[in-house]
Amino acid sequence: MLCMAAAMAMTPHSAYDGPEAPRLQVSLRLPDLRAQLTRLTDARATYIREEPLQRGDTIASLLQRLGVDDPDAHAFIRGSTAARHLLDLEPGQIVQAESDQDNLLVSLHATLGGDVSASHELVIERAGDLDQPFFKAHLHTVRNELRYEMRSGTITANGFFKTMDAENVPEEIVQQMVSIFSGVIDFHHDIVADDRFRIVYEAGFRDGALVRNGRAVAVELVNRSQLYQALWYSADDTKAGDYYTFDGRSMRRPFLRSPVEFSRVSSAFGWRNHPLHHQWVQHKGIDFAAPIGTKVFATSDGTVDFVGQQTGYGSVVILKHDGGYSTYYAHLSGLADILPGQHVTQGQVIGYVGQTGWATGPHLHYEFRFNDVPQNPLSVMLMEPVTLTGQTRQRFLSYTSDTQERINILRSFSVASIGN
Ligand SMILES: [Zn+2]
């Protein structure tokens, strides 16, 4: 059996190794495939199998699913402190076993956590020969290849989350995006079809496969024709960084734009129940339609002023904030474990959406007051953010221009790039 194939000529250690070297096309005569196959069958073959850890798994049940039938290996894993880390895995995490044709364990690999840049890997290996098998277990750190991934798209009539799914934005990155803009955008009410987004995030890869997604490093959102940009920046290179606009203003605000968790469930609900912002004057607040049980957040740091029942409001939480501000959260179905006088932080869960008091359907009635006079919560938008100053600002601006350059490079590679 003769096979002819074209291949690139490889001439090691010659002047032709450079990328501009001419490529030669030559025909090669391949060896007899039948002879090769016979030799392959003679050789010791091993089999690789992967299984997720299941709730309630023992070492025995896990090895059995992996197709390993090896009492020596089982005894070793049970007795070795390092190897027993195997059972520290969360259900659903993958264990990979290599076994020989007699179902004896050759090696076993599992990733025991880590972050976007590195993973901690447990390796159990057979050493010695088959007559005198013994095993070794060790934990080591495997560095991931850090890549910057970009996703972009236009919000469709199907809504924010369906668009994110269609554009393959990972769930944890979607959550980060919502959180980054929570001081300036109320995702329930502000996001509309034709809004556009672009997001650059870190992702750790090994052997070409995604290990773990990391942090969103830059996000752009064009919401109702207004451009919002946010960039991750850590002034002293520790983990305690934050998001800033490209000119150095923090994305954080004293108050969140929405007191209601923006989730797949609540977004589908809110989409059809658009509140009438202009009615706030008569109404003294804004209604957020959401399913019963949706989390309600403290929109700002403060102390609990009241928690309990009031006529009309039903179950209600009232918070007091610095500068004469207070916020009301009414019609709750349940209250978080909070007491009057207790300090709460921005984003902390204080209760759950309900329909108690004078409410015609499940929703949160939210009031924002200054010196006890109800204000339009939209005016919260006017509050000035923290701005970087001095040397920190200079360092930030030079970092920003570097990052912007990198984003622009990614942008030119993006097929679904949004315009400016
Ligand atoms: Zn209301």
Each residue of 39-97: pLDDT tens digit?
Answer: 555 556 788 999 999 999 999 999 999 999 999 999 999 999 889 888 888 888 889 99
pLDDT at 290 over 80: yes
Return the closest-CA partner of residue 187 out of 196, 178, 174: 178
- What is the number of residues in the chain? 420
Whole-number Å distance, alpha carbon 205 to ligand 1 midpoint, is: 48
- Contact present, 121 and 142 (Cβ < 8 Å): yes
Over residues 233-245, mean pLDDT: 78
Question: Distance between CA atoms of 267 and 271, rounded to whole angstroms?
Answer: 6
Q: Kind and range of the H or E element at 264?
A: helix 264-271
159-252 and 264-382: same fold? Answer: no
Could you give the angle at the alpha carbon of 93 between the alpha carbons of 92 and 98, nearest 5°?
Answer: 120
- Contact present, 88 and 49 (Cβ < 8 Å): no
Whole-number Å distance, alpha carbon 340 to ligand 1 midpoint, is: 23
Structure tokens at 311: 């006529």
Contact residues for 255 (Cβ-Cβ < 8 A; gap 6+):
183, 299, 300, 321, 325, 327, 346, 368, 380, 383
Q: Which CB contacts under 8 angstroms, 24+ apart, belong to 5-9?
A: 5/30
Q: What pLDDT, on a 0 to 100 scale, did the predictor assign at position 404? A: 73
**Which range, of 32-36, 234-238, 256-260, 344-348, averages the lowest pLDDT?**
32-36
Q: What single DSSP character describes residue 420?
A: -
- CATH class assigned to 264-382: mainly beta
Better-predicted residue by pLDDT, 18 or 86: 86
Whole-number Å distance, alpha carbon 371 to ligand 1 midpoint, is: 20
Whole-number Å distance, alpha carbon 329 to ligand 1 midpoint, is: 10
Better-predicted residue by pLDDT, 34 or 182: 182
Q: What pLDDT, on a 0 to 100 scale, did the predictor assign at position 238? A: 60
Over residues 347-372, mean pLDDT: 92
Whole-number Å distance, alpha carbon 289 to ligand 1 midpoint, is: 10
Whole-number Å distance, alpha carbon 333 to ligand 1 midpoint, is: 15
Whole-number Å distance, alpha carbon 330 to ligand 1 midpoint, is: 8
Contact residues for 162 (Cβ-Cβ < 8 A; gap 6+):
156
- For residue 317, the cross-strand partners are 307, 329
Question: Distance between CA atoms of 247 and 383, rounded to whole angstroms?
Answer: 17
pLDDT at 203 over 90: yes
Give the rounded percent of residues in the chain with a pLDDT score beyond 70: 79
Residue tagged 């901690």 (tokens)? 120
Which CATH fold would you assign to the domain 159-252? Nuclear Transport Factor 2; Chain: A, (3.10.450)
pLDDT at 16 over 80: no
Dihedral over Cα of 309, 314, 315, 319: its sign: negative
- For residue 307, the cross-strand partners are 317
What are the φ and ψ backbone dihedral angles of 201, each rounded to 5 degrees?
A: -140, 160
Q: What pLDDT, on a 0 to 100 scale, did the predictor assign at position 4? A: 39
Structure tokens at 73: 């290996």
Q: Please list, residue by residue across 335-359, b when 16 or more beta carbons sit within 10 angstroms of its beta carbon and e when fewer do.
A: bbebeeeeebebbbebbbbbbbbeb
Q: How many CB atoms lie within 10 A of CB 183?
A: 21
Whole-number Å distance, alpha carbon 256 to ligand 1 midpoint, is: 18
pLDDT at 302 over 60: yes
Whole-number Å distance, alpha carbon 266 to ligand 1 midpoint, is: 17
Q: What single DSSP character describes residue 338?
A: -
Whole-number Å distance, alpha carbon 288 to ligand 1 midpoint, is: 8
Q: What residues have a C-beta under 5 A from ligand 1, the ion?
A: 287, 365
Over residues 213-225, mean pLDDT: 93
pLDDT at 22 over 90: no
Which three-class secondary structure state does DSSP give residue 399?
helix
Q: What pLDDT, on a 0 to 100 scale, did the predictor assign at position 165? A: 96
Tell me whether strands 118-127 and 25-29 are parallel, antiparallel or unpaired.
unpaired
Question: Distance between CA atoms of 254 and 384, rounded to whole angstroms?
Answer: 9
What are the φ and ψ backbone dihedral angles of 79, each rounded to 5 degrees?
A: -95, -15
Q: What pLDDT, on a 0 to 100 scale, did the predictor assign at position 2? A: 39
pLDDT at 280 over 60: no
How far, CA to CA in Å, does 196 sit from each of 167, 189, 226, 229? 12, 16, 10, 12
Locate the domains of the chain by residue range.
46-143, 159-252, 264-382
- Contact present, 297 and 350 (Cβ < 8 Å): yes
Whole-number Å distance, alpha carbon 1 to ligand 1 midpoint, is: 82
Q: How many CB atoms lie within 10 A of CB 332?
A: 26
- In the chain, the largest separation of any two C-alpha atoms, in whole Å, equals 92
Average model confidence (pLDDT) across the chain: 82
Over residues 275-279, mean pLDDT: 45
Whole-number Å distance, alpha carbon 225 to ligand 1 midpoint, is: 29
- Contact present, 152 and 199 (Cβ < 8 Å): yes
Whole-number Å distance, alpha carbon 344 to ligand 1 midpoint, is: 23
Q: What pLDDT, on a 0 to 100 scale, did the predictor assign at position 76? A: 94
Whole-number Å distance, alpha carbon 346 to ligand 1 midpoint, is: 22
Tell me whether strands 325-332 and 314-320 are parallel, antiparallel or unpaired.
antiparallel
Over residues 199-225, mean pLDDT: 91
Which three-class secondary structure state does DSSP give residue 392?
helix
Whole-number Å distance, alpha carbon 359 to ligand 1 midpoint, is: 8
Whole-number Å distance, alpha carbon 283 to ligand 1 midpoint, is: 6
46-143: CATH number: 3.10.450.350
Better-predicted residue by pLDDT, 419 or 235: 235
Whole-number Å distance, alpha carbon 297 to ligand 1 midpoint, is: 17
Whole-number Å distance, alpha carbon 57 to ligand 1 midpoint, is: 50
Q: What single DSSP character describes residue 101?
A: T
Structure tokens at 221: 């959102």
Whole-number Å distance, alpha carbon 278 to ligand 1 midpoint, is: 13
Q: What pLDDT, on a 0 to 100 scale, did the predictor assign at position 303? A: 98
pLDDT at 390 over 70: yes
Whole-number Å distance, alpha carbon 280 to ligand 1 midpoint, is: 8
Return the closest-CA partner of residue 328 out of 281, 375, 294, 291: 375
**What amino acid is encoded at 22 in this protein?**
P
